[in-house]
Amino acid sequence: MIQNYLILSVILFSLGILGVISRRNVFTVFMSIELMLNAANLSFIAFSRLHESMDGQVLALLVMAVAAAEAALALAVVILLHKHKGKLDTNVFSLLKG
């Protein structure tokens, strides 16, 4: 029973990694990262149900807060870069490269 949830979490995490490495649209890459965080949350909650302790759910709560902070900052950076470059391609956003 719990194994099925964990297998689903593995599948969702792999789909998130596939989205990050195969797409170049910056929004899609960002949403794939959100998908990976969600998959981690699902496995946290499945383990908390398996061990019948609340710690996994508290960790999932903290992951949600981190995801909210990340969303605010990442979207601000996307707006700034779109204002500078006028594009949404992740290959254009290589400003930090030496």
Partner 1 sequence: MSAEWLFYVFSVLSVLGASGLVLFRHPMSGAMSLIVTMISLAGLYALLSAKLIFVLQLIVYAGAIMSLILFIIMFLNIQTIDLPEEKGRFYYLVGGIILISPIASFLIKVVKSLPGSEATIVGSGFGGVKEVGLVLFQDWLLPFEIVSLLLLVSLVGAVVLAGKRRLNK
- Neighbour tally for 48: CB within 10 Å: 17
- Residues between 25 and 64 that touch partner 1 (CB under 8 A): 25, 27-28, 30-32, 34-35, 38, 41-42, 45-46, 48-50, 52, 54-55, 57-58, 60-62, 64
Name residue, tokens 């719990």. Answer: 2
Coil, helix or strand at residue 25: strand
Question: Burial, 15: exposed, middle or buried (Cβ in 10 Å; 0-12, 13-18, 19+)?
Answer: middle
Rule CB under 8 A: which residues touch partner 1? Answer: 1-8, 10-12, 14-19, 21-25, 27-28, 30-32, 34-35, 38, 41-42, 45-46, 48-50, 52, 54-55, 57-58, 60-62, 64-73, 75-80, 82, 87-92
